[in-house]
Amino acid sequence: MDLVSYTNYWGFFPCLLAAILVLLAKKSGSDSLGAALVGIVMIGLSALSIGMLTDVSNFISAIEGHPSISAADVKAGTTAANLWVLVIPAAIAGLGVNLISAWATK
């Protein structure tokens, strides 16, 4: 497995958890307390994904000197990790805030 695939795997993991949480919120109703709790959990998942994807980027930087890993793979893996850390946490937190605001304005 190359570094970009490794990074994408860890990027899709929070997306999968967020999709499961959205399904739980939809099942409970958008204006219920359960949806607000799911929104709070999604904001926490957003913070967790920032830390996790930053750690992936640090891991890629730490193995940079290994002989079996090329500099192009390190650059591509770091770029992929940096893109995931910018997009995914913002999207997950945005969904969480939307669920909380739907509950608060009911």
> For 46-93, how does the pLDDT look when each residue is reduced to its tens digit (9 = 90+)?
999 999 989 988 888 888 888 888 888 888 888 888 888 989 999 999
Return the number of other C-beta atoms located less than 10 Å from residue 76's C-beta.
Answer: 16
Q: 6-44: per-residue pLDDT in tens?
A: 888 888 889 999 999 999 888 888 778 888 999 999 999
Predicted TM-score (pTM) of the model is 0.84
Q: Is the dihedral of CA 9, 12, 16, 17 positive or negative?
A: positive
Query: What distance in Å separates the CA atoms of residue 95 and residue 106, rounded to the nearest whole number?
Result: 17
Query: What distance in Å separates the CA atoms of residue 56 and residue 50, rounded to the nearest whole number?
Result: 10
- Domain of 17, in residue numbers: 3-104
Query: What distance in Å separates the CA atoms of residue 53 and residue 65, rounded to the nearest whole number?
Result: 20
Q: How many domains does the chain have?
A: 1
